[in-house]
Structure 1
Amino acid sequence: MNFFNLLKIALRALNRNKLRAILTMLGIIIGIAAVICMLAIGQGSKESIKAQISEMGSNMIMIHPGNMQRGGVRQSSDDMQTLKVADYEALRDRTAYLKAVSPVVQSSGQMVAGNNNWPSSISGVTPEYMDIRKLSVEDGEMFNEADIKSAAKVCLLGKTVVSNLFPGGENPIGKVVRFGKVPFTVIGVLKSKGTNSMGMDQDDVVIAPYTTVMKRILAVDYLGSIFASALSEEMTPMATDEITEILRTSHRLGEGDEDNFDIRSQQELSEMMNSTSDMMTVLLTCIAFISLLVGGIGIMNMMYVSVTERTREIGLRMSIGARGIDILLQFLIEAVIISVTGGVIGVIFGCIATWAVHTLAAWPVSILASSIILSFAVCTFTGIFFGWVPAMKASNLDPIEAIRYE
């Protein structure tokens, strides 16, 4: 018997039991829709994290004072004063893998403009900091090397600070604001960046020349940290090794001495967050695949019932010449039709569910073509795997006993 005749017989059998076939498909439909939706949410989260980290500077490297022991007592990194301006200059002049380097000194306090005030922090940096953190000036201008050398009292404000200090919408350029008791002339406003992946407001920032913050606000001769950016994301590990070597030499650390600085890169943060996202995606996808398993068991159950109900029909067909392989293929085709049809509907429902999640919950989503291909592959496999045993049972029936079956 040819394939098309078997297909017609299978479709005719399914048509006689439409409701049962549809109910059997539900497990496959729900499973496939869940798999596509979960994978889309997981992929969307990864792409969102990658985009936000890229906005912060995907090849950014942060150098902080490290923990170390003094007199048997471990010192906190906040108490350490191991990073100096000389370290920044050594990195700036001697590295081959860094594109930009900037010292960073920070202080928290109250920003005041007229009758308005706002709690914020001021960061003392160099112009290279803008490139490292992917910042840009929307209005006004950036301070220059002359301002750094003279410790000029100038600053740039983020949009959050501007909206709170100048709620009337007036232009802050040229206005004087105070940080504590120190007056600063506003020379620029930073372009808005919104919140980052950790929920921090990237617009609540004030930047000024690092020499100004060191001398006029903190009165210190050491740096809080050093920010740098590698030539490319791929060169970040080489840049990190080079920074370690230069700082150990600069700090005169011996071969057995512990580093008195700590180096972190955005690449590490990206890998950690992607690892967490991947783990959650795998967990959610495994739960979704359980629905597919339940759907497959439903197909097997339906096919067993169908074989039992049609035992006499099978016996009659075999007695007039149908081979065991014909009976096997007939029931196998029925199982695959149910599975693949449920898969097609499941893909449609999965795309609709993904769109709903993106629209209603505002979650980042991304449907991959590979997830749809995987879904069809799983559907076909599910139909063959769970339909095989009932089909084998039907093909192995004895024609005489099948005809006598009541």
Structure 2
Amino acid sequence: MGHLMKRSKCWPIYIMLMFLTLSLQSCLDIGDNGNFQTKGMNNGTQIGINQTTQANFKGKLYFTLQHNLYTLDSQHNLTQLTRGMNVRDPAVSPDGKWIAFIATYKNYTDLMLMSTTGGQVKTLRSGNGTYIANPNSEFPKATYLWYAQPSWAADSKHLLFLSDLAKPYADAGVDAFLLDLQVFSIAIDDPTATPQVVAYATYGDGGNRDPSFRPGHADQIIYTHYQYDPKTNYKQLVQIYLEDPNAISNNPGKYRPGTSDVEVDPALALTPPEPDLVNFQPNFSPDGNAIAYIRRLDATHMGLFIMPVPTDPGQLIQDPNNPDTQKKALASYAKSVQIVSGEYISQPVWSADGKQIAYIGYSNNTFDIRLANIELDKKTGAYSLKGEPIQLTDTKGQLDAESRPFWTP
């Protein structure tokens, strides 16, 4: 009898702990395991896909799991597209025919192309190379190359991408190779031709990231620019830049890589040049009138923001170094609206109708894809969050957080 009494007294504690656990799961956006349908993968592992109506979306999401490329459609069907490759950064052409992506190896990467219907994978540009003895330095030279983050032009014939193609040369007076990633462009019908330089990097601290065209505007691209603060020489400036992709090629000799001198920079900053203020990973809305981006809030938190595109950006980038132009460009940043925040948030991508944003979120020691439903106030032009973000995947640590997801109609 005493034994039974001891057991019965434990039940209230057990029930309390159970409700506490459920409450914590809700706060952490983990979700009820019953909401996730198990999907088997070819390697024998499993992931979960949220089946609730809150997790509904239109189109297809492309992302990588254990560095294999997958697509998830609106019916929550999961399809593996590549095998035996170390894949990153998928990007689907606007005409829906091609997927560009990066294949990663030990010392280099390749820029790849495959049909959205499957079939043979084509290497557009290979970064494979060799090491070369360098008598003037203790370090050898290398002809290996890195490619990253392909992004399509509206014609589905040209690709932006990142690369360290400039490392064989250096500017006079600078005792370093330009190892930083810069933005280049190629035509997929002639990928071996010399790439066009689209955006330059400054020496050190990472170069450029996240390039893409503004929808409906072939004369405007956006990207993240990394450099050291010229005033301190050790703090970071991480800013979102807008630029005419043909500014460098149309003005030979006017601009040069490796410099932090704004007088020879064709780019226009859309975020402030404040040390340690990190604004990055910009992504245009489908109509090209807004920019979703990530901002570091503090040492342990990040936020997803949306800001409007500056008024008449095509005209502004024709005179990017004019102080009045720079002031006008920064005015939109003050209108930024925070949509969500968390310990780690990255890689926002818009749905084709502009009503949802998918992003990579972090909780319970794993990365997963989350959906944020958003709405636009047509009077104010400001976006806001509808309800709470919903966890779409439960990949159990298999999602590659360093690879960018992509969303197609």
- Which fold has the larger relative contact order, with Cα–Cα distance below 8 Å and residues 6 or more apart in sequence? 1
Structure with higher strand content: 2
Query: Is the structural similarity TM-score above 0.5?
Result: no
| Higher Rg of the two aligned structures | 1
TM (norm. structure 2) is: 0.28
Q: 1 or 2, which has the higher helix percentage?
A: 1
